Amino acid sequence: MGFLTPLIFWLPFLLLPLLLLFKRKNQVKKELKRLPPSPPKLPILGNLHQLGALPHSSLCQLSRKYGPVLLLQFGRIPVVIVSSAEAAREVLKVNDLACCSRPPMAGAGKLSYNYLDVAFSPYGEYWREIRKICVLEIFSVKRVKSFRFVREEEVASLMNSVSQSSSSAAPVNVTEKIFSLTGSIIFRTAFGKSFQGSEFNRAKFYELVHDAATVAGRFSADEYFPGVGWILDRINGHKQRVERVFHELDTLFQEVIDDHLKPGRTKVQEDIVDVMLGIEKEQIEDGHAWLTKNHIKAVLLNMFLGGVDTSALTVNWAMAELSRKPRLMKKAQNEVRSIAGKKGRVTETDLDQLRYLKMVVKETLRLHPPGPLLIARETMSHFKINGYNIYPKTLIQINAWAIGRNPKYWENPEEFFPERFIDSTVDFKGQHFEFLPFGAGRRGCPGLYMGTVTSEILLANLLYCFDWKLPDGMKEADINMEESAGHCLTLSKKTPLLLVPKQYFHDQASE
Ligand code: HEM
């Protein structure tokens, strides 16, 4: 028995390292399991049933209950919802490289010729190349300025059309007019010609762009529920719809490209198709060609999806907000009218001086960001937000809408109050994470300048040329400000805005 005494004495010393090792392993295991909080989920569906008709709003409610970093399950897809400026900074700045890819989505993949575009393409060498070309050749300030005449001509034509309606004192569908204008501007900028003279009429074009946004912006049932979802896709016609939209867009793009390649074509001004065909030609001459017609078509798709709705929604919401607050509308009109004087139109050279108008646009983008959840990202490697583990292949959605309405960053956040920006340095260029209408980081919107200049010139002219009244019997409070998440990626006003225009400039000139 004597030999046991030293063993009993030494045993704790022998076991201690083992115990410590075991404890450490458990800690690491626990640490790795530290996931963001999740609301209870249903089998198979996960949290899909909690999304509702306005996902940004339902997700905002959930984040109020569970916190600003939330883990949900959409079918088989893990999704992290980010609803605070601090957490958005962690994603879009600190860990931007880990989460700047996009998830594969069958609809977007088909419409973008297997991810040859910028917006839906996964992060990698190809995306860097195509984004670089687009930033330098399509979205640069110089290129956007070269299309100033398109914007000004189209705005002038819209003002004439509103002016004709104004003689009857009947309400005008402002929403329709605004969408028609941004559509015409993007169509002419990309293709060098307007709807007039093309077999594409406006209505057909919008339908196509909206159908494209709907199929590109959402997962198919098969992606949520692999193996069985395809049955749902069959029943709801998703696959056929993707094929139809692809075919219609491809036919349009091919016709325009063929037209541009016709020998002896007279070119008044380079449009985006000319620019892209020029790059293709240069590459062939330099002997390192990789850009094909499909690449060009994929980029055109991004222009239509990114450029038509976003600026139109901004101006539509701005007009709706200003119509609810006639005092602010008057203030914006006084500014525009004092700067543009009796010229008859606001031109882009006036825009820099329109300080209040720019605040109106900012305030509109805070309350009504056209992409309330930005565009979904997919993580590529493991990282942490607020101490929570985020694993690769997780979807990240930043709720810019919720952040823009959070009282932690904004006083009286639900109030439309452009003056809040007077002495503020906060802007939307991606450095202020409480205000993210254009996103931020590597995937931030490259069309920011094009989008803002289009919104500003249109809004400025609507305010300059007309006084706007509500239809008979309607009060400011009756304006319906309900939202509709119709096209998946963007957030519209549920009902069109109807206003009665009274021509201002004409009246002033005759005074
Ligand atoms: C008011 C106008 C606009 C708004 C509010 C807006 C908003 C956005 C947002 C939120 C994103 C996602 C950013 C992210 O993931 O961090 C985005 C990306 C993008 N936008 Fe815009 N956009 C506007 C105008 C435009 C215009 C005019 C175009 C082109 C004609 C455009 C083309 C794109 C493209 C190609 C991307 C994808 C970038 C990438 O994934 O690398 N946008 N935009």
Q: What digits encode the pLDDT tens for the residues 159-170? A: 999 998 888 888
Query: Which among 438, 452, 456, 487 is the best mutation to test ligand 1's pocket, defined by most ligand atoms within 8 Å of the CB?
Result: 438
Indicate the pLDDT class of residue 509, thresholds 50, 70 and 90.
very low
Among residues 357, 302, 297, 301, the alpha carbon closest in space to that of 333 is found at 357
25 CB burial (10 A radius; 0-12, 13-18, 19+): exposed
For residue 16, is it within any domain?
no
Indicate the pLDDT class of residue 510, thresholds 50, 70 and 90.
very low
Q: Where in the sequence is the domain holding 216, given as residue range(s)?
A: 29-509
Tokens at 360, concatenated:
């109106």
Give the DSSP letter string of 70-93: EEEEETTEEEEEE-SHHHHHIIII
Residues with CB under 6 A from ligand 1: 118-119, 131, 302-303, 306-307, 310-311, 314, 370-371, 374-375, 437-440, 443-447, 450-451, 455
Position 236 scores a pLDDT of: 83
Mean pLDDT, residues 189-201 taken together = 77
Mean pLDDT, residues 60-71 taken together = 97
For residue 135, is it within any domain?
yes
Q: Complex ipTM above 0.90?
A: yes
444 alpha carbon – ligand 1 mean position (Å):
7
Tokens at 289, concatenated:
């060609």
Tokens at 241, concatenated:
């719809």
428 alpha carbon – ligand 1 mean position (Å):
12
What is the C-alpha radius of gyration for the chain, rounded to an integer number of angstroms? 27
Name the domain count of the chain.
Answer: 1
pLDDT above 90 as % of the chain: 79
Indicate the pLDDT class of residue 508, thresholds 50, 70 and 90.
very low
Q: What is the C-alpha end-to-end distance of the chain, expressed in Å?
A: 120
Q: Do residues 294 and 116 touch, judged by C-beta distance below 8 A?
A: yes
Please, how many CA atoms are within 13 Å of residue 195, restricted to the half-sphere of its CB? Answer: 15
Q: Whose CA is nearest to atom 9 of ligand 1?
A: 438
438 alpha carbon – ligand 1 mean position (Å):
6
For residue 2, is it within any domain?
no
Q: Cβ contacts of residue 315 below 8 Å, gap of 6+?
A: 178, 182, 455, 458, 459, 462
Three-state secondary structure call for residue 331: helix
Q: What digits encode the pLDDT tens for the residues 249-301? A: 999 999 999 999 999 888 878 999 999 999 999 999 999 899 999 999 999 99
For residue 120, is it within any domain?
yes
pLDDT at 238 over 70: yes
Q: What digits encode the pLDDT tens for the residues 122-155? A: 999 999 999 999 999 999 999 999 999 999 999 9
For residue 5, is it within any domain?
no
For residue 35, is it within any domain?
yes
Q: What angle do CA 363, 364, 368 make, to 5 degrees?
A: 125
Q: How far apart are CA 332 and CA 338, in angstroms?
A: 10
3 CB burial (10 A radius; 0-12, 13-18, 19+): exposed
Indicate the pLDDT class of residue 507, thresholds 50, 70 and 90.
very low
Q: What digits encode the pLDDT tens for the residues 102-128? A: 999 999 999 999 999 999 999 999 999
For residue 480, is it within any domain?
yes
Sign of CA dihedral 444, 446, 451, 453: positive
* Domain CATH for 79: 1.10.630.10
Q: What digits encode the pLDDT tens for the residues 331-354? A: 999 999 999 999 999 999 999 999
495 phi and psi angles, rounded to 5 deg: -115, 150
For residue 474, is it within any domain?
yes
